[in-house]
């Protein structure tokens, strides 16, 4: 069966009143964006509480479906057959052809669920159910009707045109990006932070990102890996402005002036400070990290207290309660895993102490940071001024 249309179903929650059109318009925008990279031309229309995607001319069904599966806010994607001739006999003919092509194996149970969107149509829903059921049973004697738990729920909607669908493919869920403000993701080359960004984007939040680069200790390839990860996340979230901050001088300065077992914590505090500055300058109202309690020394409760202390923006840590394997499972699902495990060093691993503190004291950390007084403000300023912004789409 050649499907040329998709019926897009989205959750009704959060779409009441005037929010509804905002939600729908954001969803349509995201659908358009996702389909831009698919071969073919698509027309998207909104009609009383639902969205249709129609392909015009040749198009790639699998690619279109994959693109739609990446759009947050969609609950179900229903490939649909649509025809204009509403003549009762024609509907019967079309239904038989549909069942024949979509279900090569006819050992199945089904139920017809007809809906008359146009109340002037001369056949009632119940009558359509009965007659179409009979037509299918006659054409395919192996089929059976099961009104409680059918294998196939065949929807027939008689509106200005007739819509027929029975396949329901799960969408990405969540809310359309653009319905919930913008946040700044601290994106490293690891497994966790791309997943964290994906999770927050799934709630309708637009994402920008910042990466702390430490050349020559971290290579161009390590940076390219982060750009690639940002592009992979952008397939779901829409374009990401990735700010690359040169962190080398700050890192060397901390290395020179502070106790080595506190390096990671102090370094993370400067990352948070700089990320927050760039966030507020670019209209972001939250920070996102890939932290999870206890994963490494810098993510114990005491360490998180220290890194959190430098920020006033809310810090979203969607992976906070996840085990590594649960994070890996998501990264595989969203296709970032393979890129994340490429073996290029990141700046956190270059300067790590053999025995980092696992229970840092905030007072001690603050005292150590006083050793940086002379030059650090200037260095932070310089790092922010010289950042390079890469558009990842
Ligand atoms: P990830 O897999 O995301 O790299 P991780 O397990 O390596 O995480 P850390 O290195 O402790 O954890 O980093 C914790 C969080 O801090 C990361 O998830 C990320 O949000 C942020 N982060 C760490 N290094 C960088 C960096 N170089 N640039 C931007 N953000 C970073
Ligand atoms: Mg890391």
The Cα–Cα gap between 77 and 99 comes to 19
| More confident site: 34 or 1 | 34
Taking CA atoms only, the protein residue closest to ligand 1 atom 11 is 298
Nearest CA-CA partner of 156 in 147, 143, 148, 165: 165
According to DSSP, the β-strands at 50-56 and 5-10 are antiparallel
Instruction: Assess contact for 37 and 67: CB atoms under 8 A.
Output: yes
**Predicted pLDDT of residue 138:** 97
Instruction: Assess contact for 76 and 51: CB atoms under 8 A.
Output: no
Q: Give me the mean pLDDT over the 247-274 stretch.
A: 95
Best mutation site among 192, 350, 388 for ligand 1 pocket (most ligand atoms within 8 Å of CB)? 192
**Predicted pLDDT of residue 352:** 72
Around ion ligand 2, residues with a beta carbon closer than 5 Å are: 188, 190, 348
For 6-51, the pLDDT digits (tens) are 999 998 665 667 778 888 999 999 999 999 989 999 999 998 778 9
| 211 annotated among ligand-binding-site residues | yes
The Cα–Cα gap between 27 and 357 comes to 46
Burial class (CB in 10 A: 0-12, 13-18, 19+), 53: buried
Q: Residue 248: CB partners within 8 Å, gap ≥ 6?
A: 213, 214, 215, 216, 217
**Predicted pLDDT of residue 350:** 62
**Predicted pLDDT of residue 336:** 98
Distance 289 CA to ligand 1 centre (A): 7
For 356-387, the pLDDT digits (tens) are 888 999 999 999 999 999 999 999 999 999 99
Best mutation site among 229, 341, 348, 351 for ligand 1 pocket (most ligand atoms within 8 Å of CB)? 348
Packing angle, helices 263-281 and 248-257, rounded to 10: 140
Beta bridge partners of 338: none
Q: Give me the mean pLDDT over the 137-141 stretch.
A: 97
Q: Ligand 1 site: residues with CB under 6 angstroms? A: 186-188, 190-193, 210-212, 271, 289-291, 295-296, 298-299, 346-348
Which atom, in ligand 1's list, is nearest to the CA of 189? 4
For 52-90, the pLDDT digits (tens) are 999 998 999 999 999 999 999 999 999 999 999 999 999
Which atom, in ligand 1's list, is nearest to the CA of 346? 27
| 299 annotated among ligand-binding-site residues | yes
**Predicted pLDDT of residue 16:** 65
For 289-332, the pLDDT digits (tens) are 999 998 887 889 999 999 999 999 999 999 999 999 999 999 99
Ligand whose nearest atom lies closest to the CA of 270: 1
Which atom, in ligand 1's list, is nearest to the CA of 210? 29
């Amino acid at each position: 069966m050649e499907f040329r249309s998709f019926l897009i179903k989205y959750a009704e929650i959060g779409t009441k009143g005037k929010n509804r059109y905002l939600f729908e318009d954001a969803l349509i925008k995201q659908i358009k964006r996702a389909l831009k990279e698919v071969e073919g031309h698509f027309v998207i229309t909104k009609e009383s509480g639902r969205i249709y995607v129609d392909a015009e001319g040749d198009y790639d069904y699998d690619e279109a479906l994959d693109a739609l599966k990446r759009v947050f806010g969609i609950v179900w994607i229903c490939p649909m057959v649509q025809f204009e001739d509403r003549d009762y006999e024609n509907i019967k003919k079309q239904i038989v052809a549909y069942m024949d092509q979509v279900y090569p194996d006819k050992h199945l149970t089904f139920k017809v669920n007809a809906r008359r969107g146009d109340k002037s149509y001369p056949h009632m829903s119940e009558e359509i159910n009965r007659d179409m059921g009979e037509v299918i049973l006659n054409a395919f004697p192996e089929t059976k009707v099961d009104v409680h738990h059918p294998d196939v729920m065949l929807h027939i909607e008689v509106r200005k045109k007739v819509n027929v669908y029975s396949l329901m493919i799960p969408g990405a869920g969540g809310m359309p990006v653009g319905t919930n403000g913008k946040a700044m993701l601290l994106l490293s080359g690891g497994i966790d932070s791309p997943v964290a960004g994906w999770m927050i984007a799934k709630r309708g939040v637009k994402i920008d990102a910042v990466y702390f680069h430490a050349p020559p200790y971290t290579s161009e390839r390590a940076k390219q890996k982060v750009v690639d990860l940002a592009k992979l996340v952008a397939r779901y979230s829409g374009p990401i402005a990735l700010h690359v901050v040169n962190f080398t001088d700050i890192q060397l300065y901390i290395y020179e002036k502070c106790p080595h077992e506190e390096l990671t914590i102090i370094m993370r505090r400067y990352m948070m400070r700089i990320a927050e500055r760039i966030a507020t300058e670019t209209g972001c109202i939250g920070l996102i990290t890939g932290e999870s309690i206890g994963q490494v020394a810098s993510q114990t409760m005491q360490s998180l207290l220290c890194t959190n202390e430098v920020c006033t923006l809310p810090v979203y840590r969607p992976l906070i309660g996840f085990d590594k394997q649960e994070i890996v499972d998501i990264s595989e699902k969203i296709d970032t895993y393979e890129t994340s495990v490429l073996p290029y060093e990141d700046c956190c691993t270059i300067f790590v102490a053999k025995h980092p503190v696992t229970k840092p004291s905030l007072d001690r950390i603050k005292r150590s940071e006083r050793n940086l007084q002379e030059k650090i403000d200037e260095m932070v300023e310089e790092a922010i001024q010289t950042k390079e912004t890469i558009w990842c789409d």
